[in-house]
Amino acid sequence: MPRKKLRDIQSEAPGIKALPINKVGVKDISYPVVVLDRAEGRQHTVARVNMYVDLPHHFRGTHMSRFIEILNRYRDGISTLNIREILEEMKSQLKAQNAHFEIEFPYFITKGAPVSGEKAKMEYACRLSASSYDDYYTLAVRVPVLSLCPCSKEISEFGAHNQRSIITLTVQAHERIWIEEIVQVAERSASSDIYSILKREDEKFLTERSYENPMFVEDMVRSAAEQLAAMDKILWFSAESENMESIHNHSAYAQIEMDRRR
C-alpha cells in the first residue's frame, strides 16, 4: 500500500504576524560525545547540546528532528575539527542563513599529587560554541583553584583565611588550543591548584605553598590575562575569577576582557 504523503506544516506560512526568528532549535540534549584529549588523543564524555538556526519570516517552523539526525552523524567525535562541518550541514538541511552549535561537557585530566604522586582524575566544566557567521569557535573552561587572602595574612598574628575559587577562562583562537593549556593558565594564576586525592604530606605542601602565595581575586584575573595575552594564537579572551569567601556571606569577583581583532 503506497504511503500517504504527509503535510509539511512547518514550511507553510505562519498564521500570525510573520516575523523572522533569530534562533530556533533544540536545547539541552544529553548526548555522548568524543572530544580531543591532548594526552590520550580522544576522550569519551557526555555533553549537553544546543543547536539553533535562524528562521525566515515566511516559514511557520523549523524541522526539529533534523537537528538530532545531524548530531547523530557526528556521534563518533565532535571537536573544533568538525564544528564548521556541523554548522554548514545545519544551514543546508534546515535552509537557514545562520546556524549555532553549543556543547557543555565535563572534561577529565589525570593529576598527580605534588608530593606523594598519587594520581586521580580532576573534572573541569567546559563549553564549546560556534556560529556559522563567525570564523572562530569559543572555548570556555571553569577551573577550581585555591586562593589565600593577602590582607588576612598581613593583619593576622597567625593564619589567613582561604577559600575555593573558580577561574573561568573563555577564549577565541585562530588555531587549535587545548583544554589542558587553559587549565594550566588558570592553575598558575591562583594561590594553589587543587587535587582530587591528597595524602598528609600533600596537604602540608599545599597549605604552606598557598600561604606563601597569597592572591586577591584581582591578582588572579590579572595573572591569567597576562598569560593569555602572551599567547599569539588567542584573538579574544575573558578571564573571570569568583572567590567563594570563607568568612564573608558573599563572593568576590573580577573580570578582564581583551580583543585583538579590533
**108 in any annotated domain:** no
> Do residue 143 and residue 258 come from a single domain?
yes
> Do residue 154 and residue 93 come from a single domain?
no
What pLDDT score was predicted for residue 7?
45
CA–chain centroid gap for 158, Å, is 38
The model's pTM is 0.87
42-61 pLDDT per residue, tens: 888 999 999 999 987 666 65
Query: Quick one: which of 190, 189, 179, 180 has its CA closest to 229?
Result: 189
More confident residue, 55 or 147: 147
Domain end position, chosen among 57, 80, 103 = 103
119-138 pLDDT per residue, tens: 999 999 999 999 998 888 89
Write out the residue range of the structural domain in which residue 237 sits.
Answer: 135-262
> Do residue 74 and residue 154 come from a single domain?
no
Domain end position, chosen among 103, 126, 151 = 103
**113 in any annotated domain:** no
> Do residue 64 and residue 167 come from a single domain?
no
Q: How many structural domains compose the chain?
A: 2
Residues in the chain: 262
Please determine, for residue 242, whether its predicted confidence score (pLDDT) is greater than 90. yes
> Do residue 173 and residue 252 come from a single domain?
yes
> Do residue 206 and residue 87 come from a single domain?
no
- Residue 261: pLDDT band by 50, 70, 90 thresholds? confident
**111 in any annotated domain:** no
Q: What is the rounded average pLDDT of the residues 172-181?
A: 90
> Do residue 233 and residue 183 come from a single domain?
yes
Burial class, 47, CB count within 10 angstroms (exposed 0-12 / middle 13-18 / buried 19+): buried
> Do residue 93 and residue 160 come from a single domain?
no
> Do residue 246 and residue 140 come from a single domain?
yes
